[in-house]
Structure 1
Amino acid sequence: MGKFSKGMLFGAVVGAASGLLFAPRSGKATRQKFVDELEDWSDLKEDFTEKLDQFKESAQAFQAAADMYIEPFIDGVNQDVENFMFQAEPRLDQIQEQVEKIQEELPEATSQD
């Protein structure tokens, strides 16, 4: 344990002891307050643990859903792109042929004017 950690632990113990010794309440009231605080902290810890478990379950469910849906979605998108390219390539070739014909005829049309 590092010096800093030891110092923090020592400071916490001394601070707690000082607080108990110099408390403005009676010993019984101080002990009851201490017990109540411990119960509150215990409840808080239980709530935090419960919420953490719920978060873990949600994260696992999200991961399972992602595993189930993302890969098929990507495959579907890739298939759609392939289908589009398959359909678009002949059309692009036809467009390119038309552009070439227009470019060939364009100089003839401008020179005849």
Structure 2
Amino acid sequence: MRSTRDFLTGIITGIAIGMLTAPRSGKETRDKLVDEANKRSEDLKDQWSKGVEQVKQGYEQAKTQVNQYAQQAKDQINQYKDKAQSEANQDQAKQQYNEQVDNLANKAQSGIEDARDAVRVN
């Protein structure tokens, strides 16, 4: 019985000391815990928002760079296309020139043969 009485005395003493030394009441403690939880929740929301904003900024930067690289690639393709077209046009002009020279040479040859035939006949 002595141990039960000592035990109960210890509990009562602990409760009394706790009540005398507690910095605030249970309601105040609960309110403080709720306020702290709300504050931390707001902090997490703010961090989440900042993280989302950083992701958006990173996405926009990446998108801008990709568009710049795509435009540079298009510009280079157009340069090569124009150069190839120019060379193709030069080749076509050379071919037309050679055909005209060949035609003139054939006409000159034909004229020479006609003149030779005219001289032989006379």
- Give the shorter-chain TM-score range: 0.3 to 0.5
Between Structure 1 and Structure 2, whose CA radius of gyration is higher? 2
- 1 or 2 for the larger relative contact order (CA 8 Å, sep ≥6)? 1
The normalised TM-score by structure 1 is 0.45
Q: TM-score, with normalisation over the residues of structure 2?
A: 0.42
